[in-house]
Amino acid sequence: MTTKKTKAVCAPLIEAEHLRRALRERNLLRDDVEIAKEGTYICFPVKDASEDLCLYKVVTKSFKLKAAKPHCYKDRLKLPKKLMEELPTSYDVVGAIILIKLPKTLFHYRKEIGKALLETHKNIRTVCLIDPVSGELRTRNVAIIAGENQTLTTHTEYGLLFDVDVRTTYFSPRLTSERKRVADLVKPGETVVDMFAGVAPFSIMIARYAKPRIVYAIDKNKEAVILAQQNAKQNHVLETVEVIHADANDVEKVVPKKADRIIMNLPFSAYRFFSLALSIAAKTCIVHYYDILKEEDIDARIDALKKIAEEQYFNLKDISIRKIKSYAPREFYIGIDITATKHADVA
């Protein structure tokens, strides 16, 4: 362990926070070494033990050096000034893989950028240049620009482990809090249907953090289904999560029970499945519906869903809309919670 000898001001535990603030305000606190506990005292390494702090115990001792913070990857790059300004400030991290989008102007420098990202993130083993998700299975073109030739990784969220292949399956780390929010709404004994489950992050979060009777996790992508099954196993929810390799168009055939809750995370296309979703809905059913829409198109989409529901003898109420993340300028990834209730006079 590397240490550094320095002066320090020490206060009993109860006064430590007060002293820390005083030192911080006077810019006296050293930030290259760790604060240390000594018996019932906390010792703050200081640049200078100024006089008005002499009420406290002043000592000289060795402190553990702080681990050097990784620099921003941009600090490791030397590109023309205009291109430096175009470097992305955000990117996704899925397990040990960074997924980054680059403008065409930076394509020529992709390898240097990948190397800089790898050097500044100690837990990352691979950096991938990505295109937006596309096609029915919502997968993306992925080019490895640095690190290991590997697109399979294990992502951790809320203590759960999700195996994801970023090339062959969909996964977004930006939906973490949305998954937990939905799991927290699930009541004991519910039958849940995750119509477009992917590697099953919603299903598994629900199975682990709520007490559903069963969660049916459906997906059409064979690769996703294999990983979903693996994920259910490694998170010990095989008894609650039933992974089904099927087209959601066949949901009536593959789901044997009426659903109390349905998750429809298939932006751009979920509305085409809304009628089918209602065909497996219990008399009262909560639908978590996801879409990508411009602000001005949201009302029209809600009206369209209401019309579909009416044809299936359902009313939609308690509709709440949340913008989860931005997708493109003025376009949002939107989550809509809907309570669907069957008309009283229909069996």
Ligand X SMILES: C[S@@+](CC[C@H](N)C(=O)[O-])C[C@H]1O[C@@H](n2cnc3c(N)ncnc32)[C@H](O)[C@@H]1O
# of chain residues touching ligand X (CB under 6 A): 21
Q: Report if residue 126 touches ligand X, rule: CB under 6 A.
A: no
Query: How is residue 133 written in tokens?
Result: 């998700």
**Helices and strands per DSSP (H, E), number in the chain:** 9, 17
Q: Report if residue 219 touches ligand X, rule: CB under 6 A.
A: yes
Residue number with the smallest Cβ distance to ligand X = 198
Parallel, antiparallel, or unpaired for β 152-157 and 57-64? unpaired
Q: Report if residue 202 touches ligand X, rule: CB under 6 A.
A: yes
Residue from 114, 198, 212, 335 touching ligand X (CB under 6 A): that is: 198
Query: How is residue 34 written in tokens?
Result: 């760790």
Q: Nearest distance from residue 339's CB to ligand X, in Å? A: 21
Q: Rounded distance, CA 236 to CA 221, Å?
A: 22
Task: Map the footprint of ligand X across residues 265-304, applying CB under 6 A.
Answer: 265-266
Q: Rounded distance, CA 217 to CA 224, Å?
A: 11
Q: Rounded distance, CA 76 to CA 326, Å?
A: 29
Main-chain dihedrals φ then ψ at residue 270, nearest 5 degrees: -55, -35
Q: How far is CA 250 from CA 141, 203, 264, in A?
A: 28, 19, 15
Burial of 94 (C-beta count, 10 Å sphere; 0-12/13-18/19+): buried
Q: Report if residue 218 touches ligand X, rule: CB under 6 A.
A: yes
User: 232 or 248: whose CB is closer to ligand X?
Assistant: 248
Contact string 153-182 vs ligand X (x = CB under 6 A) = -----------------xx---x-------
User: 80 or 256: whose CB is closer to ligand X?
Assistant: 256
Q: Nearest distance from residue 247's CB to ligand X, in Å? A: 4
User: 114 or 335: whose CB is closer to ligand X?
Assistant: 335
Cα Rg, the chain, nearest whole Å: 26
Region near ligand X per CB under 6 A, out of 67-75, 181-189, 242-250, 298-306:
242-250
Q: Report if residue 333 touches ligand X, rule: CB under 6 A.
A: no
Residue from 22, 28, 42, 224 touching ligand X (CB under 6 A): that is: 224
Q: Are 158 and 176 in contact (CB under 8 A)?
A: yes
Residues that bind ligand X (CB under 6 A): 136-138, 170-171, 175, 196-198, 201-202, 218-221, 224, 247-249, 265-266
